Structure 1
Amino acid sequence: MKKNNFFLEIYHEFFHCITWPKWNDLQYKTMIVFLFSIFLSIFLYGIDGFFIFLIKKLFSL
């Protein structure tokens, strides 16, 4: 396979065969990921605090 042919096929695939998401869909999905990340970080922070509290209570006897 020649290099020129390879790059032409990449160009054709990139601009003619890929369906890109609409701008509204992209914003919506980005917001979902952002909110889920915030929720998950708060949840894990709470679980971590609970285990720290539990370990301190168990080892302070």
Structure 2
Amino acid sequence: MKENNFFLEIYDEFFHRITWPKWNDLQATTMIVSFFSIFLSIFLYGVDVFFIFLIKRLFSL
């Protein structure tokens, strides 16, 4: 396979065969991912604080 042909095929696939998401879909998906990332981090922080409290309580006896 020639290198020139390889790069032309990459260009063709990248610009003509890939369907890119619309801007509104991209924004909505980004907001959903951001919301769940923040929610998960707050939830895991709460679980971590709970387990730290529980371990301190168990070992302080």
Measured against the shorter chain, the TM-score band is over 0.9
The one-letter code of the counterpart of 1:38 is I
Instruction: List alignment gaps of at least 5 residues for structure 2.
Output: none
The one-letter code of the counterpart of 1:3 is E
Aligned to 1:44: 44
Task: After TM superposition, list the pairs within 5 Å mapping 1:7-26 onto structure 2.
Answer: 7-26=7-26
The one-letter code of the counterpart of 2:33 is V
Is the aligned partner of 1:57 residue 2:60?
no
Deviations 1:2-60 (A, max 9, x none): 00000000000001000000000000000000000000000000000000000000000
Paired with 2:14 and 2:41, the residues of 1 have a C-alpha distance of: 36
Q: Percent identity?
A: 84
Q: TM-score, normalised by structure 2?
A: 0.99
The one-letter code of the counterpart of 1:42 is I
Aligned length: 61
Q: Return structure 1 stretches of 4+ with deviation > 3 angstroms.
A: none
The one-letter code of the counterpart of 1:39 is F
RMSD: 0.3
